[in-house]
Chains A and B, each alone.
Chain A
Amino acid sequence: MQPEFIIFLFLALATVAGAGAVALSRNIFWSAMGLLSALVGVGGLYVLLSADFIAVTQVLVYIGGVLVLIIFAVMLTNQIKDINVSNSSIGLVGGCAVFLVVATLLSFIAIWAPWKLTDRAPVVDTTVAIGNGLLGVWLLPFEIASVVLLATLIGAIVIARKEVKAD
């Protein structure tokens, strides 16, 4: 076995186990920890796909930003004593049926579809290539993304602030 395949197996285990914890754990904080494991695993898989810039972005944005936000929200909205109360799951049997159908169908398609594989070597210096692309071919989506981020910033502040009565 190649070493990279063994690394892939470890990362896949961390990813799938973490995702399973997110979906099945009764404790919302353990769900957040499962999300951490899943995000780290996906970041490692990006490295195996020779997408190093995306892997670093995943760590910075997801683990450093989104996950911290989620844990903040968990701490702000759950009392420690009733951390399980609003977390009961409904329809677990139906949910598992949905999971089996979706995962089996997608895996079947992934394995049996005749993908037209390329023989181009992966880009080695992805940061330079992505930087040039963002200011060249993909300039318009890049600018739109920055406007969306600004709108999100203002929107999140407006939604989450305490309302001040005028009188």
Chain B
Amino acid sequence: MAHLTLNHFLVIGALLFGFGVLAVVTRRNAIAVLMGIELILNAANLNLVAFGRYVAGGISGQVFGLFVIVLAAAEAAVGLAIILTIYQMLRNIDASDATTLKQ
């Protein structure tokens, strides 16, 4: 038990993913939904690096994780820009109020 194996990291990844899904499902604040998406991406990334270390060997898992980090940063930038625009339009960022694409 007191020896690090693949399973430890996969269980942490599963818990992170579960909390991310919980945030996306239950929160109404659009920024909190975006944070949940970040958690989900981190969980996937942790699994990728763990599989790269314990199953595949080499650095392919890490390179895959690097691309996921790049795309997550891009997604966060565009997502927050959209949220700011919605706030300027509606004066709140409740995800269930944003039902229109244009004013």
The finding on whether chains A and B are genuine partners in a shared complex, rather than unrelated, reads yes
- Are the CB atoms of B25 and A94 closer together than 8 Å? yes
Quick check: is B101 within 8 A (CB to CB) of the other chain? Answer: no
Interface string of B30-66 (1 = CB under 8 A from A): 0110111011001001100110111111110111011
Q: Smallest Cβ distance from A56 to chain B, in angstroms?
A: 11
- Are the CB atoms of B4 and A103 closer together than 8 Å? no
Q: A23-B20, A156-B78 are in contact. Are A66 and B25 (CB under 8 A)?
A: no
B interface secondary structure, majority? helix
Q: Smallest Cβ distance from A104 to chain B, in angstroms?
A: 8
Q: Which of B49, B72, B92 has the most CB of A within 10 A?
A: B49
Query: Complex formed: what's the CA distance from A160 to B76 in Å?
Result: 13
Query: Complex formed: what's the CA distance from A145 to B15 in Å?
Result: 29
- Are the CB atoms of A23 and B19 closer together than 8 Å? yes
Using a CB–CB cutoff of 8 Å, the interface residues on chain A facing chain B are 1-2, 4-5, 8, 12, 15-16, 19-20, 22-24, 28, 31-32, 35, 38-39, 42, 45-46, 48-51, 53-54, 57-58, 61-62, 65-66, 69-70, 72-74, 76-77, 85-92, 94-96, 98-100, 102-103, 106-107, 110-111, 115-118, 120, 122-123, 126, 129-130, 133-134, 138, 141, 145, 148-149, 152-153, 155-157, 159-160
Q: Smallest Cβ distance from B46 to chain A, in angstroms?
A: 6
- Are the CB atoms of B6 and A35 closer together than 8 Å? no
